[in-house]
Amino acid sequence: MESIVNIWNLGMKELRSIWSDKVLLVFVVLAFTLIVYTAGSAGSMELNNTPVAVVDEEQTALSGHIIDSLQQPWFLEPDHISFGQIDTVLDSGSHTFALVIPEGFERDMRTGRVTSLQLNIDATRMTQAFIGSRYIEQMVTMEVAEFLRRDSASAALPINLVVHASFNPNLEGTWFGGVMELITMITMISIILSGAALIREREHGTVEHLMVMPIRPFEIMAAKVWANGLIVMLAAIFSVMVIVQQVLGVPIQGSLLLFFFGALIHLFSTTAIGILIGTVARTMPQFGLLLILTIIPLQLLSGGITPRESMPDLVQNIMLAAPTTHFVSMAQAILYRGAGLEVIWPQMLALAGIGVVFFSAALALFRRHLSV
């Protein structure tokens, strides 16, 4: 009971301290509004505004149709170039694709000769190259089929494939970018806040002060966890309800309450990580370097940027120990697929477990590192 009173009182103090650090607050607000918005509105990794160049040696109605079929928002208006310029545009990276429509193409089509179009692809742009080439192939096939006034080619097929994209029918990137950035910000800001709160107390000598009072290290840490977690939680709620839902207009499938509950458990582990880094680092520059070393893998390898299945097994297994991995998969399940507690409880359990481990590790180091 006494413990809970202490944790409450220390936490209230923590909130007052954060409130008085206006510069930090401005960054928190920016992170959850402007940055989430920018990431969401930039369009993500789906096909969007792909720059295409076309070498039209034919200049007939058919080639015109084909070029017109490459439309916004998937493609930027195709630029006409000459054959000799293909290397230049691909080399400079100004275009990802260069499509060549040879002379006599329309004639060949009319006479029923199978002809191929050359598509030059900048394969260093992995995703766009792969998805885009498939789109272009489809568009060309369709235009030609229509031009020849045949029935659509697929009607004659013995088996039809009826494809549904579940949860995000149009495969819109805005949905993805904004929410993933929000998740990144939840992780990053909570680590920075709790770690910096600890280092600030140490710089001002107030930790020492706390250590001579009848307070346990556990209580000091627990207070930091709840207070900093609360700030991030409030910011996240605002960000989801206003920025993501209203401004970006992303439809949320599942229960927001469940998502927030999950975020709470996630914050428990990330704030614990922040404190852990804060105890290991002796100075601010060290904290900074450790922070970068922690946040970048947490963000890039969580499955939020690239799919987890494709990572090497070793990386996949190591990342099971990271809270972000579970949080990302939980967030995707709830927000996009409308999953309920019966589906995502393993992730929640994992998050809680990871939180306990990090919290205990931080607690063990806390006394030893702070007292010296």
d(CA 222, CA 297): 26
Based on the shown chain and the rule CB under 8 A, indicate whether residue 15 belongs to the binding site for another protein. Answer: no
Q: What is the DSSP string of 260-328?
A: HHHHHHHHHHHHHHHHHHHHH-SSHHHHHHHHHHHHHHHHHTSSSSS-GGGS-HHHHHHHTTSHHHHHH
Based on the shown chain and the rule CB under 8 A, indicate whether residue 365 belongs to the binding site for another protein. Answer: no
Based on the shown chain and the rule CB under 8 A, indicate whether residue 39 belongs to the binding site for another protein. Answer: yes
Distances from the Cα of 321 to the Cαs of 60, 327, 355, in angstroms?
59, 12, 10
Phi-psi group of 56: left, alpha or beta (phi > 0 → left; psi -120 to 50 → alpha; rest → beta): beta
Based on the shown chain and the rule CB under 8 A, indicate whether residue 218 belongs to the binding site for another protein. Answer: no
Based on the shown chain and the rule CB under 8 A, indicate whether residue 341 belongs to the binding site for another protein. Answer: no
Q: Segment 270-299, which members bind another protein (CB under 8 A)? A: 282, 284-293, 295-297, 299
Q: Segment 241-270, which members bind another protein (CB under 8 A)? A: none
Based on the shown chain and the rule CB under 8 A, indicate whether residue 151 belongs to the binding site for another protein. Answer: no
* Residue 123 token pair: 């394969």
Q: Segment 78-137, which members bind another protein (CB under 8 A)? A: 90-94, 96, 108-109, 112-131, 133-134, 136-137
Shortest CB 354 distance to another protein, Å: 18
Shortest CB 313 distance to another protein, Å: 10
d(CA 308, CA 325): 9
Shortest CB 260 distance to another protein, Å: 19
Query: Closest CB to another protein among 121 and 361?
Result: 121
Based on the shown chain and the rule CB under 8 A, indicate whether residue 306 belongs to the binding site for another protein. Answer: yes
* Residue 199 token pair: 């280092």
Based on the shown chain and the rule CB under 8 A, indicate whether residue 24 belongs to the binding site for another protein. Answer: yes
Single out the residue of 54, 176, 229, 363 in contact with another protein (rule: CB under 8 A): 176
Based on the shown chain and the rule CB under 8 A, indicate whether residue 344 belongs to the binding site for another protein. Answer: yes
DSSP 75: B
Residues 6 or more apart from 18 whose CB is under 8 A from it?
24, 25, 193, 197, 227, 228, 231
Based on the shown chain and the rule CB under 8 A, indicate whether residue 307 belongs to the binding site for another protein. Answer: yes
